[in-house]
Structure 1
Amino acid sequence: MRVALTHALLQFRLLQLWWLFCNIWDSQAYDSLRQKALDLMREAPLIDGHNDLPVKLRWFYENKLSKIDLRTLNTTQTNIQKLQAGHVGAQFWSVYVPCDAQDKNAVHLALEQIDVIKRMCENYEELELVTSAQGIDYIGRNKIACLIGLEGGHSIDSSLATLRIFYELGVRYMMLTHDCNTPWAQSSLRQTSSLYADTYTLTGFGEEVVKEMNRLGMIIDLSHTSDATALAVLRLSKAPVIFSHSSAFSLCNHTGNIPDHILYRLKRNNGIVMVTFYAEVLTCGKDAVNILTVADHFDHIRTLIGSEHIGISGDYDGGLRHPEGLEDVSKYPALIEELLRRGWSEEELKDVLRENFLRVFREVEKVRDENVFMIPNEEEISQDDVDISCHQDLKPPSGVAILN
């Protein structure tokens, strides 16, 4: 009896030691993987494709930067300290204008959002506005490069001249549509949009927009466009394009996501999809969303077209809900840790974090430089194609004749 009890006690002690060993091993493995992710991101700081902080500054603070401290602002998912903790090296700030402003004061509102982004980046020594791939590379590791992206082609008011002015002001990508059609491009919401419901795919004037963006060196963003629009652009554009914040349609059939057949075309274009963290497009609102859910989208796209066509876009301060474990911009290392756990190589992740976007940006600039002798596009959209009820045409006053 005593021998049996001694044997049982010995087995129990061995199980205790095994449990302790496994927990120590798991803890050390976890710490090692987290440290590897952090080291990797110090070497290759993230270029994030889309952040909506500027519209929060508009909604809640009327763009009055004097009223807040962006280093410690705690009413948003983004502040400078959190960006630094998340190892963000470059951030595209979104110029968001609601679709209801189309054909009204969209240009005016967009200009005010560009202004607040520029002031934001001038007011803080941790931030610096850049407008080129070289500018991103030039920024030291103690600063965050600021870039400007225009969220929706309705903000150019169907004017190539306005597009050019936005480029001069520093805008380096434009999303062709948001949740509404424009007179020249169809949104992913297609005919459910009440604005320009008859617009289908990319029109003739839309093609001129694409050509002028290629000439300028402005990146074309296909997030929120319809499949037909995306395919038309992918056939036409001489430069690689991006989806600044989208995920895989095969895993969630949300209209903002990208079907496999378009991902294949994106690979041929040498462009990238910057996978978003917005919970609604990750599981279509059906299930709890966490880091594993996000990583599944990365895995699917990598398997389909390769890691060289992937970037990262948190869509912070834009989406209503973000995955558990990725609640704000400080959490990016947790995703890199999970991808390392799934067998992604360090070289793949350096590309995803940074190099893939830089490749696209440099190629867009190369196309611009190859077309440096092209004159600005002077095409205008037909007035029959736009709602001109709020427009005033610039015509000579009555009685003023053209001089011969």
Structure 2
Amino acid sequence: MADLQDELDAPAEAGDLEAVASPDTPASTGPVPADEGEAPELHAVPEPAPLDLLARHPVADGYCGLPQVLRTLPWYDLELGDSSVEADLPRLRAGGTGAQLWAPHVDPDAPVTTTLEQIDLITNVVAQHPEDLRLARSASDTADARAHGRIAVLIGPAPATAAADSLGTLRSLHALGLRVLTLSGTFWASDAGLTRFGEEVVREMNRIGMLIDLTGASAATAERVLAVSKAPAVLTRSAARALNGHPDNAPDGLIAALGENGGLCLVPCSAARTGPHLRDVADHIDHVRALAGPEAVGLSGTYDTGDAHPEGLADVADYPALIAELQRRGWTDADLALLTWGNVQRVLRSTEFVARATRHRRGPSTATPEGR
């Protein structure tokens, strides 16, 4: 165990958080002023400070629905930019995104098939853009992608139905790259909480190193997950229910408990969940930090999901404007570095550490849902 803890605390991890761009490297490829007679850019040029911070500590975005959108388009061009999506490559670069979770869309009538199709699509899209994207399965992969100037793509979250109530299917999806599962909407993770099989799902997720997402989970499920899981849990797209009553937003008690357990609340850029203005998103971020500390809050774009977005956060290119707002509110560079990159990286590493430790104690679970 000591060796495993040494690996978790290795200097490379600190280097991931503190890595800085070369002084000779521009902070961003942000908007370029239009020449006379040309149409103006859609995004206002932010102050240099946010772009400089994002060059050193890019955004690890907790939720993007791009795979489902691409699945429905007859043609698209992510490299040159595409008006059909909110997260094409030019805008990802302009907004300072360094990693993104791409959420598979799962058809409840064919959950396993559609999950496999979406994983295949994600893998192929990333492979088609090797100079810009890199598929990541671990914290080391995300750090390596960033070091080589690529945007890391992690697969997930998928709804719990994707596993089809089968731990073997869960393990197979993990082997194909799925890294986050949302624990809601099944008989074993319901309003009544976790069944015995549900608890075994949590233990198996700990063993293989899959992140547990509590977005939309019932209070009973969330409480039991935090009691059973040895790894931190996350909310991939939940704001504060105290500020906005959306059903997927988290109550203060859950946010505080996540902070105590090393977990993470990724605040979405969603008008329905936060409010109609950029300042509303900043209010939710402030609220989570006040409840759980700066180590417990991150960002979740929820772009390409069909959600309306707050004014000032129309797409991923607008992250610098949000950073500028937080700077005006007194956020330090150290806390902003945790918000954008460090907290996601820590949770990934912690989940991987728990997985390595757990595999020393137990093999693959053979539990079935029949025992409930």
Same fold (TM over 0.5): yes
Conservation of the 8 A alpha-carbon contact between 1:217 and 1:367: yes
Q: 1:107 aligns to what?
A: 112
Q: 1:22 aligns to what?
A: none
What residue ranges of structure 1 are gaps of 5+ in the alignment?
A: 1-30, 62-66, 191-199, 284-288, 386-404
Q: Distance in 1 between matches of 2:199 and 2:263?
A: 18
* Residue 346 of structure 2 corresponds to residue 359 of structure 1: yes
1:96 to 84, 87, 105: 105
Conservation of the 8 A alpha-carbon contact between 1:33 and 1:340: no
Q: 2:77 aligns to what?
A: 69
Q: Which amino acid is the alignment partner of residue 379 of structure 1?
A: A
Q: Which amino acid is the alignment partner of residue 370 of structure 2?
A: S
Conservation of the 8 A alpha-carbon contact between 1:278 and 1:319: no
Q: 2:55 aligns to what?
A: 42
Q: Distance in 2 between matches of 1:34 and 1:295?
A: 17
Q: Distance in 1 between matches of 2:333 and 2:308?
A: 29
Q: Distance in 2 between matches of 1:347 and 1:68?
A: 38
Q: Distance in 2 between matches of 1:150 and 1:291?
A: 25
TM-score, with length taken from structure 1: 0.78
Conservation of the 8 A alpha-carbon contact between 2:260 and 2:292: no
Conservation of the 8 A alpha-carbon contact between 2:160 and 2:183: yes
2:367 to 379, 387, 403: 379
Q: Distance in 1 between matches of 2:316 and 2:103?
A: 15
Superposed CA RMSD: 1.6
Conservation of the 8 A alpha-carbon contact between 1:41 and 1:333: yes
2:179 to 172, 176, 193: 172
* Residue 231 of structure 2 corresponds to residue 239 of structure 1: yes
SS at match of 1:54: helix
Q: Which amino acid is the alignment partner of residue 172 of structure 1?
A: R
Q: 2:155 aligns to what?
A: 148
SS at match of 1:382: helix
Q: Which amino acid is the alignment partner of residue 150 of structure 2?
A: K
Q: Distance in 2 between matches of 1:329 and 1:246?
A: 18
| 1:269-305 deviation per Cα after TM superposition (whole angstroms, max 9, x unaligned) | 110101001111114xxxxx11111100011111111
SS at match of 1:357: helix
Q: CA deviation at 1:91?
A: 0.8
1:332 to 288, 309, 319: 319
Q: Which amino acid is the alignment partner of residue 368 of structure 2?
A: E
TM-score, with length taken from structure 2: 0.85
Q: Distance in 2 between matches of 1:278 and 1:228?
A: 26
Q: Which amino acid is the alignment partner of residue 68 of structure 2?
A: V
* Residue 135 of structure 2 corresponds to residue 120 of structure 1: no
| 1:196-216 deviation per Cα after TM superposition (whole angstroms, max 9, x unaligned) | xxxx21111110110000000
SS at match of 1:280: coil
Conservation of the 8 A alpha-carbon contact between 1:243 and 1:273: yes
Q: CA deviation at 1:68?
A: 2.2
Q: CA deviation at 1:157?
A: 0.5
Q: Distance in 1 between matches of 2:218 and 2:92?
A: 32
Aligned residues: 325
Moved over 3 A (4+): none
Q: Distance in 1 between matches of 2:355 and 2:188?
A: 23
Q: CA deviation at 1:150?
A: 3.2
What residue ranges of structure 2 are gaps of 5+ in the alignment?
A: 1-43
Q: CA deviation at 1:33?
A: 7.3
Q: CA deviation at 1:59?
A: 2.6
Q: 1:84 aligns to what?
A: 93
Q: CA deviation at 1:224?
A: 1.6
| 1:156-214 deviation per Cα after TM superposition (whole angstroms, max 9, x unaligned) | 1000000000110011111112xxx212112xxx5xxxxxxxxx211111101100000
Conservation of the 8 A alpha-carbon contact between 2:277 and 2:312: yes
Structure 2 counterparts to residues 204-283 of structure 1, below 5 A: 204-283=196-275
Q: Which amino acid is the alignment partner of residue 268 of structure 2?
A: T
